[in-house]
Homo-oligomer: A and B are copies of this chain.
Amino acid sequence: MATLKDVAQLAGVSPRTVSNVVNDQPYVAGETRARVEAALAALDYRPNQLAKSLRTGKIGLLGFVVPDLAQSHFARLAAEVVQAATARGYTVAVDQTHGDIERERRLIQLGPRGAMFDGAIFHPEALRAEHIEHRESEFPLVLVGERIAGDHLDHVYIDDRAAAYEATRKLIADGHRRIAAIGLRRADYARTAHLREEGVRAALAEAEGVAAGHHQYVERYDAEDGYEAMANLVDSAERPDAVICFNDMLAMGALRRLHEHDVDVPGDMALVGFDDITEASFSFPPLTTVAADHAEIAETAVKALIGRIGDPGGAVREYLVSHRLVVRGSTRR
């Protein structure tokens, strides 16, 4: 494979000149340029990105780190991140932590040299605030999802409290009188869950004649958890007539349990989820859910990261991304 030097030799110029032509620099005489271009074509020259990166210090690679790419929510996010990064000339490398706290911690501490990335977008799962507070590295990092970092790192998030509040208001407006939530978490670092819980409680507190059902705590936010939690509610003496799940997979599991019990949705029980994963459009009935704008999250995170790479010392920023309630068949209209 031809190198810059080979091309220079063939064209009878210096590597410097060839580099100028390749990178569209000014100060190249027309006649010289033509000769170089001919040589370029003759040798089918392709620049070695590695050498270029070593020299310039920019790799052109962004990391995207999530617990598990197989989960629809992360997959959609990844698709949009790749899209947004590609549009800006970056490639995206994906990594999965599977919630392994050690892997996550290592990432946070990563130095820019150790990594093959210029920076990373990171959706933490197990990590908590204290792990981030005394990180020594200056590796450009943008957090998505859990707001665990205080003001130590750039962050892209939605207003979870407001979203949960709105979803609960909708259920109340639809005439439901006993509303339970599935997806609460006890750990004090589970900020997102707490914010959503707050939103639900606030809406319930200010409504007349509406009771809270037995809110359900879960561990893993998957369909199994949702199934189990709904089992508790369905058999309960005070069965709620509406349930809000803190993500769509919980709702999918809950829905499965309701089918088994022949509970009519939304007639006997309405159901709302969070995330708007594709499963939610194809369940029966299709799920009403709080949708963050995936494209906006991705776009924002990529822009924030590229900005941070360009200005490692700048002030930490938070980016609020919009959400909306997508109303489908699992609630009344």
Contact = CB atoms under 8 A, between A and B. Distances in A.
A295 B23 CA distance: 42
Given A283-B283, A284-B283, A113 B75 contact: no
B96 A94 contact: no
Contacts of A297: none
Interface string A24-53: 000000000000000000001011111101
A255 interface: yes
Interface in A278-333: 278-279, 281-284
A279 B75 CA distance: 13
A218 interface: no
Nearest to A110: B46
Given A47-B114, A113-B46, A79 B96 contact: yes
Nearest to A60: B116
Contacts of A259: 284
B70 A75 contact: yes
Given A82-B96, A92-B94, A282-B256, A50 B59 contact: yes
Interface string A161-200: 0000000000000000000000000000000000000000
A116 B79 contact: no
A83 interface: yes
Contacts of A255: 282
Nearest to A74: B75
A223 interface: yes
A69 interface: yes
Contact of A1 (B92, B112, B281): B112
A50 B47 contact: no
A61 B51 CA distance: 15
A86 interface: yes
A252 B282 contact: yes
A183 B231 CA distance: 39
A128 interface: no
A1 to B, nearest CB: 5
A1 B113 contact: yes
A78 interface: yes
A76 interface: yes
A95 interface: yes
A282 B287 CA distance: 11
Interface string A50-88: 110110000111000000111010111011101100100
A88 to B, nearest CB: 14
Contacts of A13: none
8 contacts: A1-B111, A1-B112, A70-B75, A72-B72, A78-B94, A92-B94, A93-B93, A223-B281
Nearest first, the 7 A-B pairs at minimum CB distance are: A284-B284, A75-B75, A70-B79, A46-B114, A69-B79, A252-B282, A46-B113
Given A72-B278, A256-B282, 18 more contacts: A1-B113, A46-B111, A49-B114, A49-B115, A50-B54, A54-B54, A60-B116, A68-B79, A69-B75, A75-B75, A75-B78, A86-B95, A91-B116, A93-B94, A223-B282, A279-B282, A282-B282, A284-B284
